Every structure is written in structure tokens, then in C-alpha cells.
Structure 1
Amino acid sequence: MKSVAFDEIDDLNTAVYSFPAIRGIQAGREYYSAMVQLKLIPAIFRFNESEVPVQFRSQRVINRARIPEIARYIINNPNDYIFSSIAASISEAPVKFIPADPDNPNSKVGKIVFPMDARVLINDGQHRRAAIEEALKERPELGNETLSVVFFVDAGLQRSQQMFSDLNRHAIRPTKSISILYDARDEFAQSIRVIADSIPLFKDLTELEKTTISNRSRKMFTLSSIYQATAALLGKTEKSKKITKDDEKLASEYWSVVAENIPDWQLLIRRDVSASSLRNDFVHAHGIALHSLGILGHALVSEYPNNWREQLTGLHQIDWSRSNPDWEGRAMNNGRISKSQMNLALTSNYLKLKMNVPLSQDEEENEIKFMNVMKGRAL
């Protein structure tokens, strides 16, 4: 890239962008944190790299499937949506920072100016940019709101590619459990938090932050596993998780009745046994069992709407010990608990068969395949 002095921009006969900004230094390079109106975001970041070979791009190709969900988030929450900054590089164009105080050229507060025809590449935030463009079509009044953009003066393709790598290298998504814990918009998540805090089986025994539980933890289930299991119980999907008072009542009652019919859980509730010892010895102390019991519950309530509670007494017949060979290939693979989709399906099948609940056609097909595999292993 040709180096261009900041003051050369004054000599250019071209239209420019000008944004309030703060000047900073990282790794010896100046960068600028600017406030940009949402309606300008699509115009500034208009370069499409999707047809450029990957080795000559500074970003991954955008995943269009993510855009509607992010756009809907903005549209549905116009008064309390929040976005983190977009990081971008201005390349092949002069950039000028004008201090707010003309008598203090070292001032960090001022405005950034660069030509409108400059190539501005997103290093982090391309999906936010696309979602903003979609949201503005439905809510153009949001166009005057602002998003912070961190502008770097680009030193070439290699630098941009390294920036993308560095910005994403340490990015860690929050765990599902803590997302559920902090989500104030998701009514289903709110109900799960109430259930986890009110039912003896879950109260003070739920891991609220992590999605896995260490061997020595005194917690029994994660908040995310309770969420998934209850969604299965109520027949909720990712796209349809509206929950009613009747749903909440059913969920609370179901998990309470299930706990009454698993003696080891009663010991845990009374603190006569530790969660860690149950995890070592029993399948029912793992998320796959809770999720499977949720699937079982949905079928029980449908099959026996008036006496599903009585049907749950059949849980006493199940040998939950990990030494029970029936769990191999279902809840366990080679002696280790596994929660793959197929393991989950086969574990819930097992519970249904033990409780005399009919299998669906897909479940029957999975069961036949499983039995054939087990027969093959026995030969």
C-alpha cells in the first residue's frame, strides 16, 4: 500500500466521511474509535469479498443463515438492543485525524476524515453489518442511532488477515448455562431459572455457569441441561419457546414426581449422598438421563394425560447403575457417558420401552438399527 500523509487529504477533490472519534495507540500504530450512524454502516462497508479466493481475503465468507436472527434481534428490541464495536481497516486511502482543540495537536479527541471511495474492510463484525442493513429496511428510524467502529489504517492484506486471526483467536462464546442465567428477554429461560430455584431436586444443586460438571462438584445438573430437558418435556423448539402458566405448572410437577420415583435423588435432596458419588455410579446423575426423562415425559403426558403421574412409578423398575450392560451403546460408549444425538435417542427409547410407551416410527427404526449393531458385536 502506498503511504499517504494525513495532510494530503486536504488536496483531494473528493467527498469524505467525517466522524467524531478518539485517537489511540496499539502496537505502535494509531487507531480511531468513531461513532458511526447505523444508516451509514452498509454504505461504508460495501466491498463484497465472497468471490475473492480465500488466500486473498481478509475475512471469512459471510454466513447468510445468521443474518435474519441478528436482524430480528434489533427489530424486536429497538429500545434495548446492544452491539459491540465493529473493527475495520481503511486501505489505499489517506486518513486524517483533526483534534477537537486546534491548539493541541496531540489531543486524543477529535474527528476522523477519509474519502468516501476508500476501501474499508471489516476485520470483525461483518454479520452485524449485514444484519443492520436488513433491520434498517424494516425500521429505518433506527438509522440515526450510532455504533462504535474501531478504524485501523491498513498496512496491506497480510496485516488485515493477521488482524482477523488475532481478533478471533481469543474470542470465547459464553456457556449455554450462563447465557440462560443472564437472558432477561427469553421467557422460557426466565421460567427455567424459577424452576431451578424452586424444585428441591434442582435448588442449590444446579451448576449455573458451566455446561459441564467436574467430578468433585456438589452440583447435580447444569442449568443448560435443565433447559434442554424441560424444552423436550413441553415439546418446545428453538423457534417456538413461548411458555404458559400451565406449561410452568406441568414442568414443576413433572420433575417433582420424577424425583419422588428415583430413590437416589431423594437421598441427594436430603443430602444423604453426594452428587459426585451418584455421578460415579449411576446414569441418572448425568444430563443425558435428564434430557431423556424430558422426552419420556412428553410422550407420557400425550399417551396418559390423566394418569401420567401414576405411570412414573415404573421408574423404580429401571436399573440406573452404570454397571448395567443395558446402557452400553445407549447412554454409554465403551463405559463412558455420551450425549450424542443418537445416544440420547437410544436412551429415551430405553426408558419408553421400560415404561410401556409406544415408540414413533423414527424411534423404532433407530431401535432396530441399534439391535442389529449389538447382535453383530455379539457374533
Structure 2
Amino acid sequence: MKSNFYYTFPAIKGKQANRDFFVIMCPLSILSKLFLFNEDDLPPEHRAQRILNKARIPEMASYILNNPNDYVFSSVTASIDGDFDFTAINKDFDDKIGVLKVSMDSRLLINDGQHRRAAIEEALKASPELGDETISVVLFIDEGLKRSQQIFADLNKHAVNVSKSIGILYDSRDPIAMLTKGLLEGNKYLENYTDKENPSLSKFSPKLFTLSSINETNKKLSNKLNVSDSKTADFVNEFWDVLINNMREWQFVFNKELSPHNFRSDYISSNGVVLEALGLVGNYLYKNNPETWKDILSKIKYIDWHRSNLEDWQDRVIGPTGRIVKSATYVRLTCNLIKMKLNIPLTKDELKLEQDCKKED
């Protein structure tokens, strides 16, 4: 090696596509010092990866700080741009375990994991004791910008975001997710007719709801309520009981009189737009009519939920093309109509939204 000064890491050597690479454990305290990401001002074609999205950093840092005993980060991927040397500890026993020496003149450039690096750096400011913990780093040999860009593209090309439903199902920290899972466990209809994995229902799905749409409804239902309070959980369970008992079309499916596929073709009342709008209505009633909210909400049985009822649902649930549209504005407009159907007064903001939409028409 040309340099007299070098970093030394215990390492494991591997091989992919006939190229050597190494896996090391890096203390969090030196991660940001060793591994560089300083390409913010370069145009995309001259960068090895996407620019840092600084808005993501506080949330990721908070995740570490709020879960010091069980946070999890996957490996950072980087490239060695400079001199290095790998020496096996025992060539006769295993020539893949050894010591990696990297010249201090080298640059260690991050190919994938710049947000983890920045979040760790931010978390260390608040909790320096995390510095002794480690993160695994996969090191490839730098072969220039083109190869570094290809590494980034290859690492992200086949990445598939976890569906919202799976994220909720596996989340044991988010109180709303916990509330939603508890709801399903205690309600046989929701348990049997909720798809817990897919983000949307296929044409012939035997389900009525997705876990993500129920969870989004519960977010709106419990807005500005103490989710940790058992009273809120009771309210959420009672809200869904009212829906199940008064959505007569749902009963057709529960009683096997109508298939979920045919139900979704004819009715809109299990769609996420409607459920979230009902969540807004339920939240309003619980706060403003605590004694009578169930009686008022039960009158949804008199609403015409047919998909063909365009007089009510056009430009609220159903868009100009005839397809159901999921948007925050449509949820609010659907909430407005449900409130009007139930003789619930609209707020100033809701009245303004109605007026603004009529002007656009």
C-alpha cells in the first residue's frame, strides 16, 4: 500500500460477478467521518446516487432515539476508492475471514444508505452513547462513477416497497396499528373479510376491506383522542359495530347472499374513500354528540350506497371517468354528504369546500 496510514477492519471477503467485496462492522461514532456523501451540488448524471432528502432525517433519527433497545438498520453499501489490502487470518482454515486495511488517502463513498448515515449522525448528537454500537457495511471496489451509478441502480431496481397493510400487520409500535389489529381480533366479520396483505382488492377477491383502509379510517376516527385510553379503543370497536349492524349491504355478504365481487360491483360502502369519510363523521359525532352518536350514525342504513347513485356520489366518491377516486378532497366531500344525509351541520371549512367545488363546476 502506498500510504503509511490506514484504517483496519475485521472483515469477511465475498465474491459477486467475479468481483471481490467485503463486509465490515463500523462503529456508529465514526460512520459519518469515514463514509462520505458530499454530492448535493452535482447534477444527477454526475452523482453516484439520488440527492439526500433532508426531510426524512428527523423521523429516522427519532426512530433510533425512541427505540434504543430494538431499532434495526440494514447494511450500508459503499465503495472503496483508493488503496486497500485484505489479509486472511488463517489461509489454511478460511481465507475469507481476515483483516481489511484501507489507506487513509482513500475515499469511502456511500452507494446506498446515505439517509441511514445522516440519521445516525443526527441521533448521536442527542445520544452519544450510541456511538459504540455498530452497523454492517458492504464494501465494493470502486471502478469509477459509471460503476458506482450502476451499483445504486442495481440495488434499488428490484426493491419493492412493503404494502401498507403488511406494514400495519407487523408494526408493534404504532398505537393506531395496534388498535386496528385489536379491532380485527375481536370482530369476526372484520377478521374474515379483511385482506391483511394487499394494498388493494383484486377483482375476484373474497374480501370487502383492506387492512390499510381500516387503519386509515381509525386514524381519522381517533383524531385528537387519546389512543392509549381504553375509552378510545371502546369507541373504535363500537363505531365498527354500528357500521356492521346498519350497513345492510354488508350483511348480504356476511350472510352469503351476495359475493364480495358482486357487492363491490354494485355498492361503494366498503371502499376506502367511504370508510375514511365515515371515520371523520364518527370522530365529529363522538366529540359533539357523545350521548347520541350511535343513534345518529345508525341512520346510515337509509343512505343509498349503490354505485349507480351518481346523483349523490359523482365527484365525491366516483370521478369523471366513472372510477372510484381516492383523494383527500374526495374523502372530505364524501364526509360532507354523509353529514348532510344524517342532518349533521357542516363546519365553516366544510361549507367553504362545498362552495368552492360548486364554483369549479
Say whether the fold is shared (TM-score over 0.5).
yes
The residue aligned with 1:71 is 61
The residue aligned with 1:357 is 344
Q: Deviations over 1:143-164 (max 9, x none)?
A: 1111110001100011111111
- C-alpha deviation, 1:241, in angstroms: 7.6
User: 1: CA distance between counterparts of 2:114 and 2:45?
Assistant: 18
1:82-93 correspondence to structure 2 within 5 Å: 82-91=72-81, 93=82
Structure 1 residue identity aligned to 2:231 = D
Structure 1 residue identity aligned to 2:154 = D
Matched positions, count? 359
- C-alpha deviation, 1:61, in angstroms: 1.3
The residue aligned with 1:271 is 256
SS of residue in 2 equivalent to 1:32: strand
Give me the CA root mean square deviation: 1.6
1:1-379 correspondence to structure 2 within 5 Å: 9=1, 11-14=2-5, 16-91=6-81, 93-101=82-90, 107-235=95-223, 242-325=227-310, 326-333=312-319, 334-374=321-361
Q: Report if the CA contact (8 A) 2:3-2:105 is conserved.
A: no
Q: Deviations over 1:92-118 (max 9, x none)?
A: x111111011556x7011121102232
User: 2: CA distance between counterparts of 1:46 and 1:216?
Assistant: 50
SS of residue in 2 equivalent to 1:203: helix
- C-alpha deviation, 1:244, in angstroms: 1.7
CA pair 337-241 structure 1, distance change in 2 beyond 3 A: farther
Structure 2 residue identity aligned to 1:151 = L
User: 1: CA distance between counterparts of 2:174 and 2:275?
Assistant: 22
User: 1: CA distance between counterparts of 2:95 and 2:65?
Assistant: 38
- C-alpha deviation, 1:83, in angstroms: 0.8
Q: Deviations over 1:275-300 (max 9, x none)?
A: 22110100102111111110111112
Q: Report if the CA contact (8 A) 2:28-2:120 is conserved.
A: yes
Give the gaps of 5 or more residues in structure 1. Answer: 1-8, 375-379
Structure 1 residue identity aligned to 2:313 = W
SS of residue in 1 equivalent to 2:83: coil
Give the gaps of 5 or more residues in structure 2. Answer: none
Structure 2 residue identity aligned to 1:205 = Y
Q: Please, which moves more after superposition, 185-194 or 317-326? A: 185-194
SS of residue in 2 equivalent to 1:210: coil
User: 1: CA distance between counterparts of 2:296 and 2:43?
Assistant: 60
Q: Report if the CA contact (8 A) 2:86-2:99 is conserved.
A: yes
Query: If the length of structure 2 is used for normalisation, what is the TM-score?
Result: 0.95
Q: Report if the CA contact (8 A) 2:36-2:110 is conserved.
A: no
Q: Report if the CA contact (8 A) 1:17-1:114 is conserved.
A: yes
Q: Report if the CA contact (8 A) 1:188-1:243 is conserved.
A: no
Q: Report if the CA contact (8 A) 2:89-2:98 is conserved.
A: yes
- C-alpha deviation, 1:174, in angstroms: 0.5
Structure 1 runs of 4+ aligned residues shifted over 4 Å read none
Identity %: 43
Query: If the length of structure 1 is used for normalisation, what is the TM-score?
Result: 0.91
User: 2: CA distance between counterparts of 1:18 and 1:352?
Assistant: 67
- C-alpha deviation, 1:47, in angstroms: 4.1
User: 1: CA distance between counterparts of 2:215 and 2:281?
Assistant: 15
User: 1: CA distance between counterparts of 2:79 and 2:345?
Assistant: 59
Structure 1 residue identity aligned to 2:155 = L
SS of residue in 2 equivalent to 1:336: coil
Q: Deviations over 1:19-67 (max 9, x none)?
A: 1111111111110011111111011113411122322111211111111
CA pair 241-31 structure 1, distance change in 2 beyond 3 A: farther
CA pair 328-47 structure 1, distance change in 2 beyond 3 A: closer
